[in-house]
Structure 1
Amino acid sequence: MGLCLSLDDKSTLKRRLSKRIMNRSAADGGGGNRWRRNRSSRKEEKLIEERAVAAASLFQQQRLNGGGTAPFDRSASVRYPSGNLRRNQALPRSSSSRARSLADPLLHPQQFINQDTKLHDLENSHFVLVHGGGFGAWCWYKTIALLEEAGYHVAAVDLSGSGSHFFNANSVKSLSQYVKPLTDYLENLTDGEKVILVGHDFGGVCISYAMELFPSKVSKAVFIAAAMLTNGQSALDMFSQKVESNDLMQEAQVFHYANGNNQSPTSVDIDKSLLRDLLFNRSPAKDVALASVSMRPVPFSPVLEKLSLSETNYGSIRRFYIETLEDNAIPVALQEYMINESPPERVFRLKGADHSPFFSKPQSLNKLLVEISNIP
């Protein structure tokens, strides 16, 4: 419970405590033994007085700083008001030292939700985030925080051999093995529960595979700069459409041959010296540093595997695509090629976003995800 004392109350508090001590002394008849017995009580009262005065001083300082008359908050965390911000009220600022672009304003997550619509009334309030090749669940940390603060339930999975999933990427032999953490998650959903699947990069192939297996458990699918394939295509088929002209991608790829150099590659990695230029050309330095110590090789066998997608299952799920316009890994031309080959319900464009918009444009990305969740 907070103390609400002004400085004017301190003298009153002292007088009351002094009078209480004098009354007790008089009631004891001034006896020496009783006086000694009361010394501990007086010490306690003195301590209470000191604490109250300190609290009053702190409270008065908060009032002078614009803290109002409410009890002071003992929490060290920063708190923001819920609901829409009042007219002319300043928006909370990011702790990042990087100047924020006007194209990616920092908004309170609750502003993204129609205040007349309760979250539990939405068709879906449960996001499942699927990372791209080499990434892990760690890459979604900003998106998770923003969506959860807005009231959504969010899960991010580590695919086999990725993130904190301790498995050798060179030992992943199939797409089903690579996607197993995701399919296990969907399989364990309660009856009737649906989720919004979000896939980035090669994660687009992974959510497509899961959509074919569990169409009744997916309400919507969001592809973020992701491989959105057609029936019978592999990721290699799709990426080879434009990769010849992407010199940076070819230069950055490092293939591993765990079964011998005369065999097919078992995994592919990204040259760490080219990470920023290829994947994070618009991202903050601290996120690039995180990625440089967290990214792992991508199993190669799933990249070669052709998807079997049906209109009955995969085709029954609403799809949305988010283009990243400053993407050096999957250029806009390739993204639009995939969109034209298999048109989704709607296409959104993130200006100023590199291949990793969860780092370079987290607020704008969050706004689009919430908007998609609210599309009736």
Structure 2
Amino acid sequence: MFLLLNGFGFDPFGHCSLSSNIVFSALCIAQRPSQEVEMAKIPSKSHFVFVHGASHGGWCWYKIRCLLEKAGSKVTCLDLASGGINPSDANSIFTFDEYNKPLIDFMSALPEDEKVILVGHSLGGLNVTDAMNKFVNKVHLAIYVNAQMLPQKGEDKDKSEYRHAFEIWHGLGPDKPPTGVLMRKEFHRKLMYNMSPEEDSTLAAILLRPCPVMAVANANIRVGEGVNKVTRICIRGTKDTFYKEKSFQAQIKMWPPSQILTVESDHSPFFSAPTQLFSLLVEATASISSD
């Protein structure tokens, strides 16, 4: 989910957390695809690391995690600071480094000879780019799903109409910049889940948490040395009513990716088109498997 306010565009290791495992197990049991998924060949050592967008958590990837694990891949679904079951309060997170600490800690702990596939959704694309800057030799592939790759320069006019769609917190006082934002429930299906099953949008309404908007506003992420050697693939939802085409094209022009793939989905293809998204992830991985 992208957020635009005042002129800017916007334990954590899922496999190590008991409570996170319980949640994922329950969701995977509940997930019964209506069609048989053809399990394409994925390199046996592929390790996908999923990064959620604003207000979400590692839980939002539950369908994709089930499909990839069934296909034999290793999957990690992280909770960023204040997301999912991370105990941090969005109104106490003021820097992007604080917000992205769970991902940076995870990357730091990886063995030097291990490379992962980073997958970021929406605002989570900024977290992916930040991690690539710091651990370029540990990233095999970066995939951006309806995601922002770099901070938006100036105000995105396409999103000015959405200001009223968010509840805003001023944790430092009413005369200070906002510290937290959360999309109002009545806008969920219109903006984020317009093609998603009602069960998933209902789940999201229960689990979404405020996003640390001050931390995002203070993000200073640029393309670091050596980052362009990492293959970057953008996956674009053709029915995304939130991330407008004009905004997407501005990102592409700012930092052209290696490839652009499309999926018929809303802003949240992990809910609305999980099997198609799975297939695109497999396709993207296969395209660089010989590297």
* Interval containing the TM-score (normalised by the shorter chain): 0.7 to 0.9
> Which residue of structure 1 aligns with residue 149 of structure 2?
228
- Bigger drift between 157-166 and 309-318 goes to 309-318
> Which residue of structure 1 aligns with residue 37 of structure 2?
108
> Which residue of structure 1 aligns with residue 189 of structure 2?
276
- Matched-pair identity in %: 34
Per-residue CA deviations over 1:298-327 (Å, capped at 9, x if unaligned) read: 101222124342452322211100011111
Secondary structure at 1:216's aligned position in 2? helix
Is the contact made by 2:56 and 2:209 (CA closer than 8 Å) also made in structure 1? yes
Per-residue CA deviations over 1:236-271 (Å, capped at 9, x if unaligned) read: x36625323xx2x22312211111111100111110
- Bigger drift between 334-343 and 289-298 goes to 334-343
Per-residue CA deviations over 1:315-368 (Å, capped at 9, x if unaligned) read: 2211100011111221122112211221100000112x0010000000000000
> Which residue of structure 2 aligns with residue 167 of structure 1?
88
> Which residue of structure 2 aligns with residue 242 of structure 1?
158
Secondary structure at 2:100's aligned position in 1? helix
Secondary structure at 2:107's aligned position in 1? helix
> Which residue of structure 2 aligns with residue 357 of structure 1?
269
Which of the numbers 180, 197, 215 marks the counterpart of 2:118? Answer: 197
> Which residue of structure 1 aligns with residue 43 of structure 2?
119
Is the contact made by 2:56 and 2:207 (CA closer than 8 Å) also made in structure 1? yes
Is the contact made by 2:169 and 2:179 (CA closer than 8 Å) also made in structure 1? yes
> Which residue of structure 2 aligns with residue 188 of structure 1?
109
Is the contact made by 2:116 and 2:139 (CA closer than 8 Å) also made in structure 1? yes
Distance 2:140 2:154 in 1: 25
Which of the numbers 33, 48, 58 marks the counterpart of 1:137? Answer: 58
Secondary structure at 1:255's aligned position in 2? strand
Q: CA deviation at 1:95?
A: 4.3
Q: CA deviation at 1:290?
A: 0.4
Is the contact made by 1:323 and 1:332 (CA closer than 8 Å) also made in structure 2? no
After superposition, residues 1-376 of structure 1 pair within 5 angstroms as 95=32, 106-110=35-39, 112-113=40-41, 119-120=43-44, 125-229=46-150, 234-235=151-152, 237=153, 240-244=156-160, 247=161, 249-351=162-264, 353-376=265-288
Distance 1:165 1:188 in 2: 18
**Larger gyration radius, structure 1 or structure 2:** 1
The structure with the greater share of residues assigned to strand is 2
- Give the AA of the match of 2:93: V
- Give the AA of the match of 2:269: P
Secondary structure at 1:298's aligned position in 2? coil
Q: CA deviation at 1:228?
A: 1.2
- Give the AA of the match of 2:156: S
- Give the AA of the match of 2:225: T
Per-residue CA deviations over 1:5-45 (Å, capped at 9, x if unaligned) read: xxxxxxxxxxxxxxxxxxxxxxxxxxxxxxxxxxxxxxxxx
Distance 2:203 2:193 in 1: 11
Per-residue CA deviations over 1:197-224 (Å, capped at 9, x if unaligned) read: 0000110000111000000100110000
Per-residue CA deviations over 1:81-127 (Å, capped at 9, x if unaligned) read: xxxxxxxxxxxxx847xxx7xxxxx34242x22xxxx733xxx6010
- Give the AA of the match of 2:92: S
- Give the AA of the match of 2:287: I
Instruction: Give the direction of change, closer, same or farther, for the CA distance of 1:187–1:331 in structure 2 (3 Å limit).
Output: same
- Give the AA of the match of 2:198: A
Is the contact made by 2:126 and 2:221 (CA closer than 8 Å) also made in structure 1? no
The structure, 1 or 2, with the larger RCO (C-alpha pairs under 8 Å, 6+ apart) is 2
- Give the AA of the match of 1:189: L
